[in-house]
Amino acid sequence: MELATLLNPGAVKAVSHVTSKKRLFQDLGDIAQAIYGLNASDTVDALQERESLGPTGVGHGVALPHARLHGLDRVVGIFFKLEKPMDFDAVDRQPVDLIFALLAPKSSGVDHLKALALVSRTMRDAAVCAKLRANSDTATLHALLTEVRGTQAA
């Protein structure tokens, strides 16, 4: 599994005006509908339901919201780089500016976990996060995310 198979280039955004988790999840839902054909309100509900179990802010300015949904045949991702970090109830209490959301089919046991592990490993890499924070061009952000595995394997 590679990030290039999870992340459509159109699902990578530099976002300037997000003031709350609710607004963020609505924006993620809109992208899920536009890019992956999912129902936006179902996506928002699923993300909020998962978040109610415990915050998905993993620390160092990174959040990995995720949910399982009907209507998907594979795991897909959405990446947002926020221009202004926001409170996300992260484990280290630091504001979040890099958000990588994963949406998986309801029945996707191990694939969902593999995708979450891959995204988590990628977003734990301080050099990758520094490069993401230094860029706002969506094509560059997509390239940084999807090419990271190849450069680390070399």
Map out the domains of the chain as residue ranges: 3-149
Alpha carbons 16 and 6: distance in angstroms, whole number: 24
Residue of 17, 60, 66, 142 with catalytic role: 66
The more confidently predicted of residues 110 and 151 is 110
The pLDDT tens digits for 36-59 are 999 999 999 999 999 989 888 899
Burial of 85 (0-12, 13-18, 19+ CB in 10 A): middle
Is the Cα torsion angle 76, 13, 81, 3 positive or negative in sign?
positive
pLDDT of res. 148: 54
Catalytic annotation present for 66:
yes
Task: Give the fold, CATH level 3, of 3-149.
Answer: Mannitol-specific EII; Chain A (3.40.930)
Q: pTM of the full predicted structure?
A: 0.91
- The two tokens of residue 19 are 């003031």
pLDDT of res. 154: 35
The pLDDT tens digits for 106-128 are 887 788 889 889 999 999 999 99
Contact 119, 77 (CB under 8 A): yes
